[in-house]
Structure 1
Amino acid sequence: MDRLDFRIVELFSNDPGTSVLQAARELGIARPTVQARLTRMREAGILVDILPKLEAEPMGYPVRAITTLQIDQRIGTEQLHEQLLSIPEVIDCATIAGQWDVMLRIVARSNADLQRVIERIARLESVSRTSTSIVLQDLARNRHLPLMDAATADLDDEA
């Protein structure tokens, strides 16, 4: 990973509709170089995919919340993941360590709709308790580019 890799990822992140040829022209490098670097970053697991950034609010989901779950350890999480992914309002899901076992980012059409979603989650067999906080404002989201920028700057300093 180097600064050129960062510039390629930055370009596609800012405009996912960019073609490899457009990227090559904008960066002043050969098209096969861009393609080879994208392939190498995918194979290394650095670049999972370049997707458009979707916003829930324009789709009618202006309410955002963080919900944490405690899981009944006797039941476990074997089916929980699949059940949570069947709820379209669940946009992120992670297991966590500490007092809570699972953290979700969810969206809803209104506060009443948020309550409906939370109640649906709370009724899942392995969920023993939930806690929800409404997101008032996102201060930072999907900060992978600054991380890659820092990582590649460090690599360039070592060279």
Structure 2
Amino acid sequence: MDDTDQALISALRHDARASLSDLAAGLGVSRTTVRSRIERLQRSGDIVGFSVVLKGDAARDPVRGLMMLGIEGRGTDRILRQLGGQSAVRATHTTNGRWDIIVEIGAPTLEEFDRVLSQIRRMDGIVSSETSLLLSTRKSAGRDG
């Protein structure tokens, strides 16, 4: 994955419904390039889908974040089961690259969010983590490619 792919993914994370023309203009490449790169990233499994965030989801969880986890050895399945038992865990994703698991977390307060992070960090087999708070979620309506 090169810098253009990374920039394309970043643009899609910001607005997954952006038109090919808008994406191409923002990246300084042609529409054909954008289309072929999206298709290639989907075929390779780097992009596995697109999602919608509902206003109700954001209202339920005023504090949301992504926690990336590095797992020691072969403990991924066990840790995924433990994460599944956490009420604040909205989704778990296995991934490639630097992090083994990405955890979507939602909580009513920063204090509760911090408590959940502490619980997860203490799980046996987690050797590293990085967490990013989700500050805002933007989706555009009515655009097509």
Which of the five TM-score ranges fits, normalised by the shorter chain?
A: 0.5 to 0.7
Check if 1:70 corresponds to 2:70.
yes
Q: Distance in 2 between matches of 1:80 and 1:131?
A: 16
Higher relative contact order (CA 8 A, sep 6+): 2
Q: Tell me the alpha carbon deviations over residues 117-140 of structure 1, each in whole angstroms, 9 at most, x when there is no partner.
A: 001111111211111000011124
* TM-score relative to the length of structure 1: 0.50
Q: Does 1:91 align with 2:90?
A: yes
Instruction: Measure the CA separation in 2 of the matches of 1:88 and 1:54.
Output: 20
Counterparts of 2:138 and 2:58 in 1: how far apart (Å)? 16
Shift of 1:111: 1.2
1:105 — aligned with what? 104
- Residue 80 of structure 2 is matched in structure 1 by 81
Q: Could you tell me the TM-score, scaled by structure 2's length?
A: 0.55
Change (3 A) 1:62 1:105: same
Distance 1:67 1:106 in 2: 7
CA distance in 2, matches of 1:139, 1:58: 14
Instruction: State percent identity of aligned pairs.
Output: 27
Distance change >3 Å, CA 127–CA 54, structure 1 → 2: farther
Give CA-to-partner distance per residue, 1:38-74, whole Å, 9 cap, x none: xxxxxxxxxxxxxxx6834443x3101011000012x
| Letter in structure 2 aligned against 1:132 | T
Which structure is larger by alpha-carbon Rg, 1 or 2? 1
User: Which amino acid in 1 is paired with 2:120?
Assistant: I
Deviation at 1:80, TM superposition (A): 1.0
Aligned length: 91
Where does 1:128-147 land on structure 2 (aligned, <5 Å)?
128-140=127-139
Question: Which structure 1 residue ranges, 5 or more long, are not aligned?
Answer: 1-52, 141-145, 151-159
2:42 aligns to what? none
The residue type paired with residue 69 of structure 1 is L
Distance 2:105 2:77 in 1: 21
- Give the conservation status (yes or no) of the 8 Å contact 1:56–1:107: no
1:114 pairs with 2:113: yes
Q: Distance in 1 between matches of 2:55 and 2:134?
A: 17
- 1:114 is displaced (CA, Å) by 0.9
**5+ long unaligned stretches in structure 2:** 1-53
- Superposition RMSD in Å: 2.4
Give runs of ≥4 in structure 1 deviating > 4 Å: none
Quick one: which amino acid aligns to residue 98 of structure 1? G
The question of 1:55 aligning with 2:45 is answered no
